Chains A and B, each alone.
Chain A
C-alpha cells in the first residue's frame, strides 16, 4: 500500500517505464525480419556507415512500419480514453462512433467500383494517388459520414452517453451488414484484399504515410492534453460538470470531434483496428489511475506499445504470411483484458 502511494507521487515512473519498454521493443524489432541484420549492422546503418542493402531494409521497410504502428496505437488509445470519459462507460471504444465501420464501407465500395469499372479507376488515378492513397481517402470520407450520422441520430437536446452507445451499436450493425454484402459481390482477389484491410494491416506503411499522419498526431495530442482537466470533470457526471462551470454539451462535442479525427487518421493509415482503443485505456487506468493528466500520455504509450508488439507478432509468427495486426491485437489483448477484469 505504501509502495503504491509512493508510486503515485513519483508519477513520472510509469510513463518513463512504458517508454523504456517501447524503445526496447523498437530496438529488438529492428533486427527481426526475413533479412537478418545483426545489432552491429543496425548500429552501422544508423551512424551512416551501413551497406545499401542494410540501409534500404532499415529505412525503407522497417522504420516506417514501426513508426506507423506506434503512431496508430497512440491515436487509437487516446481516442478510446476520450470516448470512455465522455460516455462515462468503460465499454466505449473508438469503434462506437462508427468510424471504423464507416471507413470499412468506404473502402469496400472503392474496391468494388475500381475493380469492375475502369472509369472509376481512371478517376482514382487522376487524383495522382495509387489505390492505397485512394483507400485512405475513401476510409476517411466513409468514417466521417458514419460519425456524423451517429451523432445526428444520438442528438436529442444533447448527447446522452447511453443513447450514443446504443445508436452506435445499431448503426455499426447496419454498416457491418452492408460491408459483408458488398464483399460478397467481389471476386476472390478483391475479397481478400478487403478482408485484410478490414482486419487492420500496416502492410502498406511507407514514409509518406508516416509524414502524413505525424502533424495530425502532434497537433491533436497536444490539444487534447490541454483538455485533460475537462475530461476529469466530465467523467464525474453532467450535473457535477455543469456546476463546475463547464458548458457540457459544447465540450462534449469538441472532444468527440477530436476523438473522431484521431480515429479517422488511424483507420485511414492502418485499416480496421479497433480493440486497442478499448484495451489501452483500461490498462493505463490500472497503472496510473483515472486522472487524465497522467492517463492520456500513459494510455497513448501503452497503445503504441500494444500495437508495436502486435505488428511484430503478426508479421513474424506465421512467416511468410502475415496476420493482420487488428486480429493480433484482439487475440493477444482480449485474454489479457479478461484477466484484468477478473482481478478487479
Chain B
C-alpha cells in the first residue's frame, strides 16, 4: 500500500482491491445524492418555465407544456422561448461541468477549468473570426467553428503536456494554459476591436442562454450526447489517473489514448456550450469541486453528478437573470460569478495555511 496525496491534499491509501470494495459499498450514497439533485433540477426547470416577463399563472404554464395549441400566445411563448432556453441552460451547465471534471481529473489539478486552460478562449476566438469574416452563418456552422476553436485550445494544452513530459508539474501546466488563454483571448479582442464586432462579442463574453432557438438546441444535442457518453466510457480510467498516474498505467490503462479521448470529450462539450451560450465562468471549476464532496472521487458517479449539478447551477442562475431587475435581463456570467465566488472564497478560507 502506498500513501499518495489525492486532489484535496489528504493522503489516501491506494490499493486497487480495497478501492473496489470501498466503491461498491459506497455506491448507494452517491446515487442518492444524484437522485436528489435530479429532483431539485426538475423543480428548478418548472420554475424556469414559469419565469419571464409575460405573465401567466402556474396553471397556465402547466397547460402550456402539456396541452400545446399554436394559437395561444402564452403557450407559444413557453414552447418557443422558455422551453428551449431552459433545456439549453441545463445542457450547457452539464457540458461545462463534465468538461471541467474531466480536465481536473486528467491534469490532476483542482484549479483546472476550461476557461483557465484556454479552451473557452479558443472557442471565443473562433467565434470572433466567424463573426468578423462570415457573419451570416448557420447554427451548425457556428458550432463547428466553435469546436475547432476549442480543439485548438485543448490541442495546445495536450501538446505542452506531451513535450515536457518530465518537467510538467501541474503548476507549469496551469501557467501554460493561462498563457494560452491570454493569447487566444487577446487575439479575439484584437480582432473584435479591429473588425468592429466588439459589441456582439461582448455578449458572447458575458454569456447567456437568452434567445436560444430549437435549431440551436438540435445542433447542441449530438455533441452533448457523444461527449457525455465518451466521458462515461473513460470514467474508470480517469478515476485512476486522477488518483495516481503510475497505478493507472500499471493497471493497463493506455495513458495517451485516454488523454486523447478526454481531449475529444472536452472539445465537444466545451465547443458546443460556448457556441450556444458564450463564455460562462465558474461552472466548470466549481461544480466538480462540490461533486467531489458530495459523491466522492469515483468518476462513474462524478460525471453524472457533475452533469446534474451543473445543469442545476445554470438553470437556477438563468432564472435569476430574469428575476433580478425585470423587465431587463442580467447576463448570466454575473450570476455564476456571484454564486461561484463566495463558494470559492469559502473553500480558500477553509484550507489550512
Contact = CB atoms under 8 A, between A and B. Distances in A.
Interface residues of B, number: 49
Interface string A164-200: 0011011101101110110110001001100110010
Interface of B: 111, 156, 160, 163-164, 167, 171-172, 174-176, 178-180, 182-183, 185-187, 189-190, 192-194, 198-199, 202-203, 205-206, 281-282, 330-331, 333-334, 336-338, 340-342, 344-345, 347-349, 351, 353
A91 interface: yes
Contacts of A3: none
B183 A170 contact: no
A13 interface: no
Given A192-B193, A199-B189, A330-B183, A90 B175 contact: yes
Given A180-B331, A338-B156, A344-B164, 6 more contacts: A163-B348, A177-B336, A180-B205, A180-B333, A199-B189, A337-B175
A181 B189 contact: no
Nearest to A162: B351
Contacts of B160: 338, 341-342
Nearest to A183: B202
Contacts, number: 139
A210 interface: no
Interface string A257-295: 000000000000000000100100000000000000000
Contacts of A199: 186, 189-190, 193
Contacts of B334: 177-178, 180-181
Central interface residue in B331, B334, B353, by most chain A CB within 10 Å: B353
Given A191-B198, A195-B198, A330-B186, A174 B348 contact: no
Interface stretch (A221-229, A297-305, A320-328): A320-328
A174 B336 CA distance: 9
Interface string A309-336: 0000000001001011011101100110
A344 B348 contact: no
B338 A174 contact: yes
Interface stretch (A25-33, A121-129, A150-158): A150-158
A85 to B, nearest CB: 15
A179 to B, nearest CB: 10
Contacts of A192: 193, 198
B15 to A, nearest CB: 30
Contacts of B187: 327, 331
B109 to A, nearest CB: 12
Contacts of A154: 348
B180 to A, nearest CB: 7
Contacts of A318: 194
A240 interface: no
